């Protein structure tokens, strides 16, 4: 599992440019699935059909996003410095000293214009990527090119660190749950979605296409257990978090109840999550067509949207167990 996580997190795939990661995931799931397709927005839809003889199976959609935050070139200046804007939630203070890699393989480092005090962080438009060019002419990237952040996977034992745990850890949990799911009374659709970081776009269209009876997302959430963190009752290593609300959604109480009941029955540790900011694919799924009851299984993650996002491996394994148990048994919602 750690080896697969290393591959998943080191793959390039900013929002809208998910080809590479889709290939990696497809390779893992194709032998486990009953049906695989890719829709117009690039969502990878992986179906596991109900076990023969099941009456009135429920269509359950599980979304984990494949895309990651990145940057896009706005222009290259006369001296070959690459100016950029963010794709998704890109914050200046997380970029200083960073490395990026463009789709064409070109790498660069992030530099910044001088500030009045060395401890100030400038806005994104006062930063640039230095790819080693000396003029606009010899610069190997152009306006509109896209880059992802570069950082190798770090295994600290129980704690694992990577640049795109958000949300490759959700992709890993979905893949492993599919692997563990021997039979199911449901019609299960695992969807590896695109363009979550720019506004849950892939989840919106794939949920419309699938028209599920219920569903949930698997995504990272924040953390409350490092110095100075306040008002967030989620810690690494205490189990997957069952989302009750976030900044964009109230989970359906019946879905929350289903998750808690399953965790308690299977003796899987879990945490109750009330997150004030941010949201997930579940928000988009909830609001398609006539509405869908949804929730979210969250993986507690420190330093979200930096190149060093950290999760606890036990939470990951327990999330796989929880989801496998949920999908293995019938549910009345
Ligand atoms: Co994110
Ligand atoms: Zn995410």
Q: What is the pLDDT of residues 101-115, one digit of tens each?
A: 999 999 999 999 999
Asked if 76 and 56 sit in the same domain, the reply is no
Residue 52 has pLDDT above 90, yes or no: no
CA of 79 to the centre of ligand 2 (A): 36
Q: Is residue 183 part of a domain?
A: yes
- Ligand nearest 169 Cα, by number? 2
Query: Which of residues 126, 149, 172 is at a domain's end?
Result: 149
For residue 307, the CA-to-ligand 2 centroid distance in Å is: 14
Rounded distance from Cα 146 to ligand 1 centre (Å): 17
Residues with CB under 5 A from ligand 1 (ion): 166
Res 311 pLDDT > 90: yes
State whether 206 and 292 are in the same domain.
Answer: yes
CA of 189 to the centre of ligand 2 (A): 19
CA distances from 73 to 76, 109, 155, 272 (A): 7, 14, 32, 40
Distance 280 CA to ligand 2 centre (A): 6
C-alpha 128 to ligand 1 mean position (Å): 22
Residues annotated catalytic, as ranges: 196
Q: Which one of the ligands is nearest to 163 CA?
A: 1
Ligand in closest contact with the CA of 306:
1
Q: Which ligand is nearest to the CA of 197?
A: 1
Q: Is the pLDDT of residue 333 over 90?
A: no
The CATH number that applies at residue 123 is 2.40.30.40
pLDDT in tens, 242-286: 999 999 999 999 999 999 999 999 999 999 999 999 999 999 999
Tell how far the Cα of 262 is from the centroid of ligand 1, in angstroms.
27
Task: Tell me: do 44 and 173 sit in the same domain.
Answer: yes
Q: What is the CATH number of the domain that holds 298?
A: 3.40.630.10
Determine the distance separating the centroid of ligand 1 and the alpha carbon of 265, expressed in angstroms: 31
Work out the average pLDDT over 165-172: 98
Whether 46 and 75 share a structural domain: no
CA distances from 97 to 107, 138, 204, 245 (A): 13, 23, 35, 35
From the CA of 53, how far away is ligand 1's center (Å)?
A: 40
Q: pLDDT tens digit string along 147-159?
A: 999 999 999 999 9
Q: Which ligand is closest in space to the CA of residue 89?
A: 1
Longest dimension (CA), the chain: 71
Residue 101 forms part of a structural domain: yes
Question: What whole-number distance in Å separates Cα of residue 267 and Cα of residue 227?
Answer: 30
Cβ contact 48:190 at 8 Å:
yes
User: What's the domain count of the chain?
Assistant: 2
154: in domain: no
Residue 123 confidence (pLDDT) = 95
Q: What is the mean pLDDT of residues 196-222?
A: 98
Question: Is 108 inside a domain boundary?
Answer: yes
Q: 166 CA distance to ligand 1 centroid (A)?
A: 5
Domain membership flag for residue 300: yes
Last residue in a domain, options 149, 171, 190? 149
pLDDT at 290: 97
What digits encode the pLDDT tens for the residues 63-91?
999 999 999 999 999 999 999 999 999 99
Q: Are residues 108 and 223 in the same domain?
A: no
Instruction: Please tell me the number of the ligand nearest to residue 299's CA.
Output: 2
Mean pLDDT of the chain: 97
Q: Assess whether 196 and 282 both reside in one domain.
A: yes
pTM confidence score: 0.97
* pLDDT for position 332: 87
**43 and 182 fall within a common domain:** yes
49: pLDDT strictly greater than 90: yes
Do the Cβ atoms of 112 and 127 come closer than 8 Å? Answer: yes
Domain limits for position 85: 70-149
Q: Which two tokens stand for residue 286?
A: 């909830």
Q: Does residue 333 lie within any of the structural domains?
A: no
Residues 91 and 230 in one domain: no
| Distance in angstroms (rounded) separating the CA atoms of residues 262 and 211 | 24
Structural contact between residues 157 and 104, judged by C-beta atoms closer than 8 angstroms: no
């Amino acid at each position: 599992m750690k080896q697969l996580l290393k591959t998943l997190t080191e793959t390039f795939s900013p929002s809208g440019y998910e080809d590479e990661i889709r290939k990696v995931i497809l390779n893992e799931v194709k032998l486990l699935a009953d049906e695989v397709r890719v829709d117009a927005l690039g969502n990878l839809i992986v179906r596991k059909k109900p076990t023969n003889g099941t009456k009135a199976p429920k269509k359950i959609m599980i979304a984990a996003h494949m895309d990651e935050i990145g940057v896009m070139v706005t222009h290259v200046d006369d001296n070959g410095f690459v100016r950029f804007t963010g794709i998704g939630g890109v914050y200046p203070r997380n970029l200083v000293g960073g490395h990026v890699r463009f789709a064409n393989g070109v790498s660069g480092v992030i530099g910044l214009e001088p500030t009045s005090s060395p401890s100030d962080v400038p806005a994104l438009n006062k930063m640039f990527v230095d790819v080693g060019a000396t003029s606009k002419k010899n610069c190997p990237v152009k306006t509109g090119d896209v880059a992802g952040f570069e950082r190798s996977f770090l295994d600290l034992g129980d704690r694992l660190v990577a640049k795109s745990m958000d949300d490759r850890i959700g992709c890993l949990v979905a893949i492993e749950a599919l692997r563990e799911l021997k039979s199911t009374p449901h019609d299960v659709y695992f969807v590896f979605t695109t363009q979550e970081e720019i506004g849950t776009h892939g989840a919106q269209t794939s949920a419309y296409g699938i028209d599920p009876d219920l569903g949930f997302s698997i995504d990272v959430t924040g953390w409350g257990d490092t110095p100075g963190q306040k008002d967030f009752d989620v810690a690494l290593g205490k189990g997957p978090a069952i989302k009750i609300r976030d900044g964009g959604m109230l989970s359906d109480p019946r879905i929350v109840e289903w998750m808690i009941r399953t965790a308690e029955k299977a003796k899987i540790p879990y945490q109750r999550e009330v997150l004030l900011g941010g949201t997930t694919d579940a928000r988009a799924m909830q609001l398609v067509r006539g509405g869908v009851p949804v929730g979210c299984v969250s993986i507690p993650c420190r330093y979200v949207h930096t190149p060093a996002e950290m999760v606890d491996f036990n939470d990951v394994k327990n999330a796989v167990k929880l989801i496998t148990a949920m999908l293995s048994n019938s549910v009345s919602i």
